[in-house]
Amino acid sequence: MIQTEKFYKFLDNSTSPFYVVKNTSEILDRAGFKCLSFEEPWNLQKAGSYYIKLYDTALFAFRLGKSLSEDMILRIAAAHTDFPSFRIKPNPEMREKGYIRLNTESYGGMVLSSWFDRPLSVSGKVSLRSQHLFKPKEVLVDIKKPLMVIPNLAIHLNRKVNYGVEINKQKDVLPIMGTADEDIHNYFKNHLARHLDVSADDILDYDLFIYNLDKACTVGASDEFICAPRLDDLSSVYALIQGIISQVNDNDIHMICLFDNEEIGNRTKQGSASLFITMLLEKIFQTLGKSRMELYEAVHRSLILSVDVAQAYHPNYGTKFDPTNTAELNKGIAFKIDTAQRYAYDTGAIAILQQLCEEYKIPYQKFVNRSDATAGGTMGPVISTQLPARTVDIGVPLLAMHSAVETMGAKDLDSLIRLMEAFFTAER
Ligand SMILES: [Zn+2]
């Protein structure tokens, strides 16, 4: 299967952070990575490949070099598994005349208008009653079938619709899931129970997201673009996986960190503000017979890439962008620069990347926001305070960021995969 088809399959099947992690672990299994549990002692081998899941929505994969030289560095690349969407509240049923609507809240900064009039389904995790009080059963679910829709209001009832309309999250975007005249108590839970083949009484709680069923596709007169849901940040997740499963350098430790909860500020046990990354590195070093001080020394020599999408120049809204530093589709990887360090920045680290790109003939461009605009936050500054290594924020340029369907350059996917491969293999 060619790379684009594999990428599309990954996107189409990764409908919630739970499935991003599930699909990633399947790719890593096939590539010979060994799944570890943090709760058990490890026996790590040089030249070994390993991964560990964190609460089913974050994942860390690492490969040890064959020799692990005295002056080894950590080559770390991070991306995020989450994306803006609606999350279903507990007791979600709301009746309005004969319609059944679900009560939802929005997760992350959504372009709400993009969610109207699309078939929607549900993906996430359900927690079930078990015999063990401290160990309820947890199952993943992706209903896949079109299950609900958020209909627009007809233009005849809102003549101002094309002049900008306020959309209220509690009132205007609740999806309709059916019609019924009977009692709707537990309507959603019962549907879920039937799908999972369990008793509705056994469903204790759930972490379920609504997703749109649009499939990834190639667009443009010469196939220049990729249009798909969730390109922020699954395009980076996919490229990081391709990087870590290719060749790696003999002397170093290579790691990809796929964090959850970037879209809501990173401050969770599985987000990039978590202490887990330090705990994980300490455990790796201790298992290899190395001291904490050796870890700190290695961190000091290391490089972290925080890989997340960048705002691509939009031809219909040119005045929104910096006069001299814009990122365009198909012109290469954007190095994101912000003097307030909302993107992590270090001139030496940027210079390393430029040398790497030039050596491997990978196009890149420097992106800066307008001086009168504020950059959106990402993982780089957060990771670099947890792990004070040189860190830079980079990513593919993206149009319609946080819309239900986003657009990237087809060539940029190839550039990012090649950059990740170069990052993990290049001689220092
Ligand atoms: Zn992002």
Q: Using one digit for the tens of pLDDT, what is the confidence trace for 67-84?
A: 998 999 999 999 999 999
308 Cα: distance to centroid of ligand 1 (angstroms): 5
> Where are the strands (E) in 13-172, listed by range?
34-36, 49-54, 58-64, 74-80, 85-96, 99-107, 120-128, 137-142
378 Cα: distance to centroid of ligand 1 (angstroms): 7
pTM over 0.85: yes
Which pLDDT does position 183 carry in this prediction? 83
pLDDT band with cut points at 50, 70 and 90 for residue 328: very high
380 Cα: distance to centroid of ligand 1 (angstroms): 11
With beta carbons less than 8 A apart as the criterion, state whether 326 and 367 touch.
Answer: yes
Length of the chain: 428
pLDDT at 262 over 80: yes
Mean pLDDT of 207-215: 98
Which pLDDT does position 132 carry in this prediction? 97
236 Cα: distance to centroid of ligand 1 (angstroms): 9
187 Cα: distance to centroid of ligand 1 (angstroms): 34
DSSP letter for each residue of 200-233? GGGEEEEEEEEEE-PPPEEESTTS-EEEETTHHH
> Which residue did the predictor score with more confidence, 384 or 377?
384
For residue 178, report the phi and psi dihedrals to the nearest 5 degrees. Answer: 175, -175
233 Cα: distance to centroid of ligand 1 (angstroms): 5
For the domain bounded by 85-212, which CATH number is listed?
Answer: 2.30.250.10
Dihedral class, residue 278 (left if φ above 0, else alpha if ψ from -120 to 50, else beta): alpha
Which tens digits make up the pLDDT trace of 119-159? 999 999 999 999 999 999 999 999 999 999 999 999 999 99
**Which sequence spans correspond to the domains of the chain?**
3-83+229-425, 85-212
The whole-angstrom separation of Cα 415 and Cα 357 is 9
Quick one: fold of 3-83+229-425?
Answer: Aminopeptidase (3.40.630)
